[in-house]
């Protein structure tokens, strides 16, 4: 139906549009069903299991309602894992966004030059992200080795420290060592997303700003940062959700030690589920971790909506 026919009918609803919308839902239904089976079904199953006390070793399987969650609220080890997870997330995501933005700006400047050096630099920049996390953690485990690790050797030779430091055995250094490894690993991911956002900003805006006498900092503050903020928020959501459930990097580096000072929620849930075999309480821990990640992601969306001046 054309626009003229629509107006001739008094501007009423167009049946063809509704039909196309209905077909869209029908065609998307298999994808929604697949997402439901792969993503939502395990979440629902874990939540249901968290309402039980299940100890297969002793043959215990009973419905206890919210008893696991009540115990969780008084569990000091849970709150310590929460503090470690949130500290790790805040520190790593903040540094990754800052370094990723700087790296994205550098790569964006290099993309204007069609040369082999530019392409090589882009590949090298994203290389750490392509390395599997367990492999990256093992590499950094060797770097942190107190006796023959490269990090201690360089710092001692440079005169920064007098004697080698056992980075992963010191409670004050261990979590920061894990943060450094995570930043090295995932900063390229943040840079890749931010680079895509930079390439969508019209260059005419910068040309007009230069004509008006705006310097580099003014262009960054008044053009780049405001237009890039939605991409920064989206990148922050991805990285926050990934950092909240951090497991493999910390588990390889410290195993949660020393003295559980680097034990994150995912490591605590893993030990409860697969070492203590407390499937009910372990599922409650996993559900709590999911809720924390969801709340942090919603906070990003609230900031993004406020930036776009949309009602929350």
Residue 310 pLDDT level (bands cut at 50, 70, 90): low
The answer to the question of residue 193 being in a domain is yes
**pLDDT for 161 beyond 60:** yes
Neighbours of 91 (CB within 10 A): 18
**pLDDT for 14 beyond 50:** no
One domain, residues 32 and 78: no
One domain, residues 24 and 140: no
DSSP H helical ranges for the chain:
3-8, 15-35, 41-49, 67-73, 76-110, 116-130, 133-143, 150-157, 171-198, 203-211, 216-219, 225-244, 248-253, 265-270, 279-307
What does the alpha-carbon distance between residue 297 and residue 289 come to, in Å, rounded to a whole number? 12
pTM: 0.83
The answer to the question of residue 267 being in a domain is yes
The answer to the question of residue 291 being in a domain is yes
The answer to the question of residue 3 being in a domain is no
Query: 108-114: which pairs have CB atoms within 8 A and are 24 or more residues apart?
Result: 108/195, 108/198, 108/199, 111/199
Query: Across-strand partners of 52?
Result: 63
Contacts of 233 (CB under 8 A, 6+ apart): 300, 301, 303, 304, 307
Q: What is the pLDDT of residue 299?
A: 87
One domain, residues 32 and 95: no
| In the chain, % of residues over pLDDT 70 | 90
One domain, residues 133 and 19: no
The answer to the question of residue 226 being in a domain is yes
Q: What is the pLDDT of residue 80?
A: 93
What does the alpha-carbon distance between residue 221 and residue 237 come to, in Å, rounded to a whole number? 22
Specify the residue for token string 């490894």. 181
The pair phi, psi for residue 133, each rounded to 5°, is: -60, -40
Model pLDDT for residues 188-243, shown as the tens digit of each residue: 999 999 998 998 888 888 888 888 888 888 888 888 888 998 899 889 989 998 99
The answer to the question of residue 87 being in a domain is yes
Domain with residue 296: its CATH number is 1.10.3720.10
One domain, residues 164 and 283: yes
In contact, 104 and 199? CB cutoff 8 Å: no
**pLDDT for 123 beyond 90:** no
**pLDDT for 119 beyond 60:** yes
The answer to the question of residue 56 being in a domain is no
Identify the domain containing residue 145 by its residue range. 73-307
Supply 304's token pair.
């993004």
Residue 6 pLDDT level (bands cut at 50, 70, 90): very low
One domain, residues 170 and 208: yes
Q: What is the DSSP letter of 263?
A: -
One domain, residues 115 and 164: yes
Q: What is the pLDDT of residue 77?
A: 93
One domain, residues 123 and 23: no
One domain, residues 147 and 258: yes
What does the alpha-carbon distance between residue 190 and residue 100 come to, in Å, rounded to a whole number? 5
Q: What is the pLDDT of residue 164?
A: 86
In contact, 271 and 55? CB cutoff 8 Å: no
What does the alpha-carbon distance between residue 234 and residue 245 come to, in Å, rounded to a whole number? 17
Element (H, E) at 255: none
What does the alpha-carbon distance between residue 142 and residue 111 come to, in Å, rounded to a whole number? 35
The answer to the question of residue 249 being in a domain is yes
**Structural domain count, the chain:** 2
One domain, residues 290 and 215: yes
One domain, residues 99 and 225: yes
Model pLDDT for residues 260-308, shown as the tens digit of each residue: 889 999 999 999 988 888 899 999 999 999 899 889 888 888 887 876 7
One domain, residues 92 and 25: no
- Comparison of pLDDT for 115 and 300, the residue scoring more: 300
């Amino acid at each position: 139906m054309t626009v003229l026919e629509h107006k001739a009918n008094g501007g009423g609803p167009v049946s063809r549009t509704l039909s196309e919308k209905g077909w869209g839902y029908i065609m998307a239904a298999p994808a929604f069903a697949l997402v439901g089976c792969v993503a939502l079904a395990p979440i629902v199953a874990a939540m249901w299991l968290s309402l039980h006390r299940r100890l297969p070793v002793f043959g215990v399987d009973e419905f206890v309602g919210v008893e696991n969650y009540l115990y969780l609220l008084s569990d000091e080890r849970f709150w310590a894992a929460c503090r470690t997870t949130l500290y790790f997330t805040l520190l790593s995501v903040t540094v990754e966004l800052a370094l990723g933005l700087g790296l994205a700006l550098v790569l964006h400047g290099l993309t204007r030059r069609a040369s082999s050096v530019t392409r090589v630099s882009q590949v090298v920049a994203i290389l750490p992200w392509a390395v599997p996390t367990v492999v990256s953690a093992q590499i950094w485990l060797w770097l942190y080795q107190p006796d023959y690790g490269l990090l201690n050797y360089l710092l001692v030779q440079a005169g920064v420290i007098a004697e080698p430091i056992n980075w992963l055995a010191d409670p004050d250094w261990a979590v920061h060592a894990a943060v450094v490894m995570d930043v090295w690993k995932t900063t390229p991911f943040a840079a890749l997303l931010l680079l895509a956002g930079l390439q969508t900003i019209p260059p005419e805006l910068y040309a007009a700003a230069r004509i008006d006498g705006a310097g580099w900092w003014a262009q960054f503050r008044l053009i780049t940062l405001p237009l890039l903020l939605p991409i920064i928020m989206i990148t922050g959501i991805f990285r926050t959700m990934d950092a909240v459930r951090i497991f493999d990097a910390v588990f390889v580096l410290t195993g949660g030690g020393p003295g559980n000072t680097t034990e994150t929620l995912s490591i605590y849930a893993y030990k409860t589920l697969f070492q203590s075999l407390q499937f009910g309480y372990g599922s409650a821990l996993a559900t709590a971790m999911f809720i924390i990640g969801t709340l942090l992601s919603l906070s990003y969306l609230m900031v993004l909506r406020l930036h776009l001046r949309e009602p929350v």
